[in-house]
Amino acid sequence: MSAVAEKADTKDQPVKQVKKPEASSAEGTKKLSGKELKELKKLEKAAKRAASKEASGITPEEQKQIAEQKKQKAKEAAAAAAAAAQAHATNTNLKKQLNQTLIKDKAAQKKIPALFSHLETREQRNASSPSISHIVHPEILTLTLKYSTYKIVGSMPRLTAMMKAFKIVIRDYETPANTTLTRNLTGHLSHQIEYLKSARPLSISMGNAIRWLKQEISVISIDTSDEMAKEILCEKINDFIREKIELSDQLIIQYASKHITEGSTILTFGHSQVLEELFKYCAREQGKKFNLIIVDSRPLFEGKKLLHNLIDTTIGDDTYGQVPITKDHIRVQYTLVYSLSSTILEDVDCIFVGAAAMLSNGRLYSRVGTGLIAMMAHSRNIPVLTCCESIKFSDKVQLDSVTTNELADSDDLAQDQDLKKPPQKKSFALEQFLKAKKEAASDETNNNNSTNTNKNKQQQQKQKQQQQQKDEENKADEEPDVPLKDWRTTPNLNILNIMYDLTPPEYINKVVTELGALPPSSVPVILREYKNT
């Protein structure tokens, strides 16, 4: 019953809102909170549009004008529609208009090769991010910041962190009046996810996990008390982390460790959580001695992280003292992908690469550079193995790494080597906050200016001067002479910094999953057999 009613609401609402926005919002608070949410969503959308426009260079004034025009148009249209009782057509028409303006603006602004122009840049992601930070849980805000600064990187760490954050979100969640947890929590989570996406797009494993969680929420009986339901969900998330991540990794390590034999030479690329554990396991638990070549790449230098973590891992007992595993057990060689030439690959027995996703046509979607290494290994008949939890399996089919990919910040590439600082990024929420603060401040000064005495003015001038000085100092600090400093304004200069690439199945010998080792051609079998369970 109520579902039908809601549907009817959605149909009517656009018209209603244009006609009498105050009335509908007032109504919303009184009545259904589902409606409230819809309102929120609408506001978000509006904010998104505004933000994206701003990002594409339209000033707030212009925007206001446009908005005014649109409102008028919409009003006229709505009036006409109401008269003709054709609310639907106008609604879609309006949307179309909006979309058209959006696309044009975007195309003018992009600074990446045209082939990749369909991918979302960081600016666009931020622009399209809803200004809903007031309903986003602090835990998610923190997580978003960690994602965007690559503090948490790699498919599995990201997934684990997200699930843990969701647990806290669920624990702190309170069902609004007149609705149930089963129906409302999914929406609440969607807001969090929406915000999370402003840092980086969701990975395949995160998408799979979110789908699972929403399914779990929806099957909770409506009679369950909120406390109980939250308890159940948290328990389920715990089980999920244990089963799909921790235990899976253990099994994968067991299977994969057979390929690391005493005295063999293993090559790995970048950093993968499960591979790090694998190397540690082989050295500490099995006492194997082997050579490890860590191949790394710009700009993330994830291999350094692996190296660091391996050096930090110790072996031995307290009586004889702890020594790092890299001392006696793993002889590490660290190199960049560019030097991956003849001599390095000469005596490699086996190559282990991580995975971001396994696609159903057997292709491996992984950190950019993996394909290159796999092909190189194939030409030398070196087996390439990938360790991939089944949560990363996707039923998607992709033939190239252009259609779907992730654009990282071009600044990461433009930055110079001499600049020792790691890529600095502000969180979107922080940017918003700063902007709001600035606006408030300027408003205040304006007000003060009109009413205050000379004395105050002088003070303000002094302050301003100080501020300017400070700004200049900061500028000098921030911008040394970097060759690509002006890449944003240089015409015809595009920078491409993509995150992933696709490795064809011919170049992968084995996929090690917690269900056993498989050839890449068997990925669809796993998907088929396990989709139902």
Question: What is the binding site for another protein (CB under 8 A)?
Answer: 259, 350, 383, 385, 509-510, 515-519, 521-522, 525-526, 529
CA 269 and chain centroid, separation? 22
Of the pair 119, 515, the CB lying nearest another protein is at: 515
53 versus 259: smaller Cβ distance to another protein? 259
Does residue 201 have a cis bond before it (omega within 30 degrees)?
Answer: no
DSSP 3-state of 331: strand
Pick the closer one to another protein by CB: 74 or 512.
512
Q: Rounded to the nearest whole angstrom, what is the least distance from the CB of residue 261 to another protein in the complex?
A: 9
Which residue, 206 or 282, has its beta carbon nearer to another protein?
282
Biggest CA–CA distance in the chain, Å, is 89
Distance CA 183, CA 222 (A): 9
Other CB atoms within 10 A of residue 183 CB: 18
Q: How far is the CB of 49 from another protein (least distance, A)?
A: 48
Closest CA to 507 of 341, 344, 385, 392: 385
CB of 341 to another protein, least distance (A): 23
> What is the nearest approach in angstroms of another protein to the Cβ of residue 386?
13
Dist. CA 193–CA 470, nearest whole Å: 38
> Please, which residues bridge with residue 336 across strands?
296
Contacts 24+ apart (CB under 8 A), 88-93: 88/11, 91/14, 91/15
Distance from C-alpha of 152 to C-alpha of 168, rounded to nearest angstrom: 18
Q: Which is nearer to another protein, 21 or 516 (CB)?
A: 516
Q: Taking phi first (over 0 means left), then psi (-120 to 50 degrees means alpha), and beta for anything else, what does residue 271 get?
A: beta
Give residue 70's Cα distance to chain centre.
33
H helix count then E strand count, the chain: 21, 12
Q: Which is nearer to another protein, 46 or 525 (CB)?
A: 525
- Cβ closest to another protein, residue 176 vs residue 504: 504
User: Measured from the CB of residue 524, what is the shortest distance to another protein in angstroms?
Assistant: 9
Between 121 and 390, CB nearer to another protein: 390
Where on the phi/psi map is residue 301: left (φ > 0), alpha (ψ -120 to 50), or beta?
A: left
Q: Can you tell me the distance from the alpha carbon of 345 to that of 481, in angstroms, rounded to the nearest whole number? A: 38
Supply the minimum distance, in Å, between the C-beta of residue 315 and another protein: 25
Buried b (16+ CB within 10 A) or exposed e, 242-266: eebbeebbeebbebbbebbeeebbb
In whole angstroms, the minimum distance from the beta carbon of 389 to another protein comes to 16
Comparison of 503 and 509: residue with beta carbon closer to another protein: 509
| Closest CB 327 distance from another protein, rounded Å | 28
- Looking at residue 430, its amino acid is L
Closest CB 359 distance from another protein, rounded Å? 16
Residue 391 CB, nearest approach to another protein (Å): 16
Nearer to another protein, 259 or 271 (CB): 259
Q: Closer to another protein at the Cβ: 167 or 392? A: 392
Q: Which is nearer to another protein, 181 or 385 (CB)?
A: 385
Work out whether strand 350-353 and strand 500-503 pair parallel, antiparallel, or are unpaired. unpaired
Cβ atoms of residues 303 and 292 within 8 Å? no
Phi, psi at 476, each rounded to 5°: -60, -40
Query: Is the distance from CB of 393 to CB of 358 less than 8 angstroms?
Result: yes
- Nearest residue (CB) to another protein, 64 versus 528: 528
Give the closest residue to 387 by CA, choosing from 278, 313, 484.
278
At closest approach, how far in Å is the CB of 274 from another protein?
18
Write the DSSP assignment of 378-427 as a string of letters.
Answer: HHTT--EEEE--GGGB-----SSSSSS--B--HHHHHS-TT--SPPP---
Q: How far is the CB of 516 from another protein (least distance, A)?
A: 6
Work out how close the CB of 91 gets to another protein at its nearest, in angstroms, rounded to a whole number. Answer: 48
Q: How is residue 441 written in tokens? A: 């401040």
